[in-house]
């Protein structure tokens, strides 16, 4: 099968979210029902370089409040936020900011890749999503989910999609009334209908999942 043509649309403003929602509503009844409940999802953009990727690592498996608190302490230790500065800091300093050992290892691996192994974030702007994904997942500790989230929120790719995200999988299970949660491969197949706006569909799915859980909390 020939490779898909790279989408050139970027999500950089709230208007891009609205454009994506309009397009998705026209062609998908599931999207219409989810949007009617959850409304427009937020933009959620991050820095496109080293800082953006570091933020993703720090925030993994944490609440928003906890992630922000740890990031602020980490950013105070690593000033300015650069790979060489991370490498110069002792583990004890980074742990004192609230970082776990696995996250410290991953941040050091990313920093080493940038400082010594030629990882260039400035080359990602015009690179294909496959190229960016491959470059990031070569770094120890950076998995497919992290690369997908970077593509979505740091580079703003309109068709990037984190199929391995459990909340997305659960949102689709609820919206499609499936017996079980789809795995990543199954979710990718379902999400084909949302191209070239899968990045907006993912944002809406997260919003829908949150709205469903909030509604359950009110009614239970």
Q: Which domain range does residue 56 map to?
A: 50-154
Question: Does residue 32 sit in the same domain as residue 119?
Answer: no
* 68-113 tens-digit pLDDT: 999 999 999 999 999 999 999 999 999 999 999 999 999 999 999 9
* 177-216 tens-digit pLDDT: 999 999 999 999 999 999 999 999 999 999 999 999 988 8
In a domain, 139, yes or no: yes
H or E element at residue 20? helix 14-27
Angle at the Cα of 13 from the Cα atoms of 8 and 16, rounded to 5 degrees: 55
Question: Does residue 63 sit in the same domain as residue 125?
Answer: yes
pTM for the model stands at: 0.92
Q: How confident is the model at residue 6 (pLDDT cuts 50, 70, 90)?
A: low
Q: What's the confidence (pLDDT) of residue 115?
A: 96
In a domain, 2, yes or no: no
CATH assignment of the domain containing 101: 1.10.340.30
Q: What is the rounded distance in angstroms from the CA atom of residue 132 to the CA atom of residue 49?
A: 12
């Amino acid at each position: 099968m020939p490779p898909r043509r790279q989408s050139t649309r970027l999500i950089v403003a709230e208007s891009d979210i609205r454009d994506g929602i309009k397009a998705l509503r026209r062609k998908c009844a599931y999207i219409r029902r989810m949007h009617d409940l959850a409304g427009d999802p937020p933009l959620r953009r991050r820095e496109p370089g080293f800082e953006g990727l570091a933020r993703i690592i720090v925030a993994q498996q944490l609440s928003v409040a906890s992630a922000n608190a740890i990031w602020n302490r980490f950013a105070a230790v690593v000033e300015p936020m650069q790979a060489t500065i991370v490498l110069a800091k002792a583990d004890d300093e980074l742990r004192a900011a609230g970082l776990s050992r696995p996250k410290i290892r991953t941040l050091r691996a990313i920093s080493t890749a940038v400082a010594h192994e030629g990882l260039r974030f400035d080359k990602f702007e015009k690179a294909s999503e496959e190229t960016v994904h491959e470059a990031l997942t070569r770094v120890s500790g950076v998995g497919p989910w992290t690369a997908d989230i970077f593509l979505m929120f740091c580079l703003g790719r309109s068709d990037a999609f984190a199929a391995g995200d459990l909340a997305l999988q659960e949102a689709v299970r609820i919206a499609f009334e499936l017996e079980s949660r789809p795995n990543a491969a199954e979710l990718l197949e379902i999400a084909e209908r949302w191209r070239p706006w899968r990045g907006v569909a993912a944002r809406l799915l997260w919003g829908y999942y949150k709205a469903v859980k909030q509604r359950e909390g009110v009614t239970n």
